[in-house]
Amino acid sequence: MNTTWGEMMSTISNVSNEQTPLQSRLNTLTSSIGKVGLLVAFMVLVVLLIRYFTGNTQDENGNTEYNGSKTKADDIINSVVAIIAAAVTIVVVAIPEGLPLAVTLTLAYSMKRMMSDNAMVRKLSACETMGSATTICTDKTGTLTLNQMKVTKFWLGQDFVNENGSSSLASSVVELLHQAVGLNTTGSVYKSISGSEFEFSGSPTEKAILSWAVLELNLDMEGLKQGCEIVHVEAFNSTKKRSGVLMRKKGENTTNVHWKGAAEMVLAMCSNYYDVSGNIKGLDDSERKKFDQIIQGMAASSLRCIAFAHKQVPEQENEDGKIHLEENCLTLLGLVGLKDPCRPGAKKAVEECQYAGVNVKMITGDNIFTARAIATECGILKPNQDMESGAVVEGVEFRNYTPEERMEKVDKICVMARSSPFDKLLMVQCLRQKGHVVAVTGDGTNDAPALKEADIGLSMGIQGTEVAKESSDIVILDDNFGSVATVLRWGRCVYTNIQKFIQFQLTVNVAALVINFVAAVSAGEVPLSAVQLLWVNLIMDTLGALALATEKPTKELMEKPPVGRTKPLITNVMWRNLLSQAAYQIAVLLTLQFKGEAIFNVSSKVNNTMIFNVFVLCQVFNEFNARKLEKKNVFEGIHKSKLFLVIVGVTIVLQVVMVEFLKKFADTERLNWWQWGVCVGFASVSWPIGWTVKWIPVPEKPFLSYLKLGNSKAV
């Protein structure tokens, strides 16, 4: 546990499985709905029992149901059971049991469709969490760039060496460069069967440097390894940003130390440098500044700058049993600049995320100038956004801030260069403490803590290690930031589809609760029977969830700001839509309840059937309104939603069967064509009402904050 690996793995294991932003909102919502439903059901129960035992209720024949001691015990029990059943039914209707189904269907459907968009979802909840994301912390290499390194610049001393200029270099310098590249590497060179071409293996950086040395400096890898002996190797260290090797030529007594790594760090170890002619020159302050300008110039051109340095050390210095590679008074061999081109669609994807109100932050191990250049090229930084504004920092600087300074400055930071895995983790923790919903991309084992800590961990499918994938929620199969933007769009689609279903479902619940409560208080009976209410609950919950859960993402989703953690799940727009529809349904159904028999000259049984039929058909028409929360044209793209149309058709067929053929089961009476026309006419008014109310502006303050009901922020 005292190793870096142990510290990292303990960090991963200590992360708690907390609820996603949507889960916490839904829990609060369902809790509030449950309380309201229980309250209404209890009030209906009390009112109906009082009316019954005070002799204010009548049976079908017009006789008083309760006459004190004259009433049989069985009749009392049957009546009380019927009253309790009505109250229980109200509770069942009030609580949206279809909500978990709608959420699961939406997540599962989106998960399947995201697979074709190069995103493999490992945890269902990650789909909806991505829709709430406010910040994306992304890697550079392989995500914003192609991870196809190529050496494009080579400086020996203060002289730039072009592609064909390597033949003019001193042979002694070329030999040292061969040793520096060929021995201090984790890559390999293979000759093809024909022997005319070479194949390179290793990391993209190693492959690029080996390719340059073999093709430009005529490095003979096999001959080099046969003529040299490696005494000790110091592997690349993410803190020191360099790797070293101690070697000797066979038959010689002296050994050479070769270092390769980040240019500014290797340069700090040097006191001399080679010029083109092979002469060793001193590295004073003025010369060092010139090299700094060369390094910054390459970095400003978005090149990764790698330096080579060496020193000849006597054999006896390494005879104490503990081999230590000399790190002082080295001689600089040369500088190479490696270009890793930005992905063609990276800038567009970054702009799409920024347009959607999501902050994109780049965290990389490259030096600050390279990081700044790549970030500018990808659109993360604006061209005039200078470093003094706090938009670009180094990992060590961020690490050394006080907790208060970090919390104050973390929002302004767009790029963090020379960062360690724990700097990345620290940034994620700070952002989450400030209330952000954070998505993190990573491909290495050392990215695992940040991936685990983030609300959404996005690992890379090609370059990603197994530890990174296991710590992530979503695997980006093509390692492309464009796919991250696609995941964001799908996440918002999931969130919006759930909102659509909630609006649709709550309209049903509000209307059913008010109608049954008013009718119970005034008339002593509920117009919608237990079977009818359960039927509405069944078809609206199940089929409604399936219809609205499979809506596809649209461009409009990326035009809205992110919802984050605190924005309400039920927005003012949704309240406006659902209350207007519920008010209309309540007005129509109560009119039918009290005046329907006189207006349409029908029997009580037919009138109750019309009430039931109008109620269901209103939900069918309102299902179209629920497709668009804000847009007035609810039929836009309806031809693409084939499943939606099929479900609406199935719902209508089932309702016809319920009314016309299941009389005894559903307690209904057959309706004639004129009565069906009246029911459809009442229900169809839902469309013009839905269109009209969308012209009404809504305030920004959450509706529930006026009602002081529950936790308005969470709900």
Q: Which residues are catalytic?
A: 139
Residue 258: which residues within 8 A CB-CB, separation 6 or more?
Answer: 176, 179, 180, 183, 184, 244, 245, 247, 308, 309, 310
CB 121 within 8 A of CB 494: no
Cα–Cα separations (whole angstroms), residue 390 to 160, 294, 328, 353, 405: 33, 24, 33, 21, 12
Q: CA-CA distance, 423 to 84, in Å (whole number)?
A: 61
Distance CA 327, CA 318 (A): 14
Residue type, 612: F
Using CA atoms, how far apart are residues 13 and 26, in angstroms rounded to an integer? 27
Closest CA to 520 of 54, 85, 46, 88: 46
* R_g over Cα of the chain: 36
Following CA atoms 359, 239, 262, 380 in sequence, which dihedral angle do they give, to the nearest 10 degrees? 0
Position 13, amino acid: S
What would the two tokens of residue 165 be? Answer: 């200029």
Q: Any idea what DSSP says for residue 539?
A: I
- CB crowding 565-574: b at 16 or more within 10 Å, else e: beebbbbbbb
Identify which of 317, 332, 336 has the alpha carbon closest to the alpha carbon of residue 259: 332
Beta bridge partners of 618: none
Cα→Cα distances 115→120, 447, 478, 490, Å: 5, 23, 11, 11
- The rounded distance, in Å, linking the Cα atoms of 628 and 631 is 5
- Residue 265 makes CB contacts below 8 A (sequence gap 6+) with 240, 241, 242
- Residue 290, token pair as written in the block: 């010139």
Question: How does strand 456-460 pair with strand 474-476?
Answer: parallel
- Taking the C-alpha atoms of residue 382 and residue 385, their distance in angstroms, rounded to an integer, is 5
Q: Which of 266, 243, 246 is nearest to 318 (CA)?
A: 246
Angle (deg, nearest 10), helices 604-625 and 642-661:
180
- Check: CB of residue 564 under 8 Å from CB of residue 132: yes
On whether the CB atoms of residues 431 and 438 are closer than 8 A, the answer is yes
Distance (Å, whole) CA 191 – CA 174: 22
Q: Which residues pair with residue 332 across a beta bridge?
A: 273, 309
Token code pair at residue 17: 């499985």
The edge-to-edge listing of strands for the beta sheet with 415-417 is 119-121, 474-476, 456-460, 438-442, 135-138, 359-363, 415-417, 392-394
Both tokens of 639, joined, read 């031809």
